[in-house]
Amino acid sequence: MAAVVPAAGAGVRLGAGVPKAFIEIDGTSMLVRAVAGLLDSGVVDDVVAVVPAARVRETESLLAPLRADGHLVVVTTGGAERTDSVRNGLAALESTAPAGDAGYDVLLVHDAARCLAPAGPTRRVVETVRAGAGAVVPVLPVVDTVKEVDDDGVVIGTPDRSALRAVQTPQGFDPALLLAAYDAAGDVATDDAGLVERLGEPVVTVEGHALSFKITTADDRMLAEFRLNPPPPRPEEPHD
């Protein structure tokens, strides 16, 4: 089982001045948290981290301790769009994967920005691929009503909320299907399963987790810090 972790985004919306995956949450970078989280799930053997070209050497040393248990941890360079970064990660995996006729039976793709993702969804995704699904995504129900708007921002539709789901990572795939989806992908997609959908292949959902939220803005970062370091309970108010 191997996972590609795209971590080459600039993080402009976070405004921290460093690539997003290198921002620390409670003293540990998002990238290290994301990779360690996958390896700690117990179902992921090997990881490819995809980072900005200028960060490859630094990433090698950041991730070196995670190789201790015999995990293969490969670092490669990302591209302009997330799709390019994942494509580079898959290529790195193909060229460095351990020899053997079987290869990997499941490939995961997991955003470094979802660095607090717990093991539960990862295990559910992997189990569901192993049970025969070609593509599996962890999802949560959508709590807001969602509107579709035209170019002027005028509402043109209100999809039935009960049929909508917010999609997270790690997303899991039969390796041949994911590689075929990336081969066929001409342009960018915001998630990997979207490329599988374009091939007309089914994508199965499993239950995601609130802690798998993507850290995109400064508020998200504060929430992540808070979840790792909740403030001590307030002393009880004195009663009269």
* Residue ranges that bind ligand C5P, judged by CB under 6 A: 6-9, 20-21, 50, 78-82, 85, 111-113, 214, 216
Contacts 24+ apart (CB under 8 A), 67-74: 69/39, 71/39, 71/44, 71/45, 71/46, 71/47, 72/2, 72/45, 72/46, 72/47, 72/96, 72/97, 72/98, 73/35, 73/46, 73/47, 73/49, 74/46, 74/47, 74/48, 74/49
SS3 199: coil
Which position's Cβ is nearest ligand C5P? Answer: 9
SS3 134: coil
What minimum distance in Å lies between the beta carbon of 11 and ligand C5P? 7
What minimum distance in Å lies between the beta carbon of 158 and ligand C5P? 25
Nearer to ligand C5P, 113 or 224 (CB): 113
What minimum distance in Å lies between the beta carbon of 111 and ligand C5P? 4
CA-to-CA dists, residue 58 to 31, 104, 112, 135, 237, angstroms: 12, 27, 16, 33, 49
Our measurement of the distance from residue 203's CA atom to the centroid of its chain's CA atoms, rounded to an integer in Å, reads 17
What minimum distance in Å lies between the beta carbon of 122 and ligand C5P? 16
Nearer to ligand C5P, 11 or 175 (CB): 11
Nearer to ligand C5P, 116 or 133 (CB): 116
What minimum distance in Å lies between the beta carbon of 136 and ligand C5P? 19
Of 8, 199, 180, which Cα lies nearest the Cα of 107?
Answer: 180
Nearer to ligand C5P, 214 or 227 (CB): 214
Do 64 and 92 form a contact (C-beta atoms < 8 A)? no
What minimum distance in Å lies between the beta carbon of 130 and ligand C5P? 25
E strand or H helix at 220: helix 218-228
Nearer to ligand C5P, 50 or 185 (CB): 50
Nearer to ligand C5P, 111 or 174 (CB): 111
SS3 6: strand
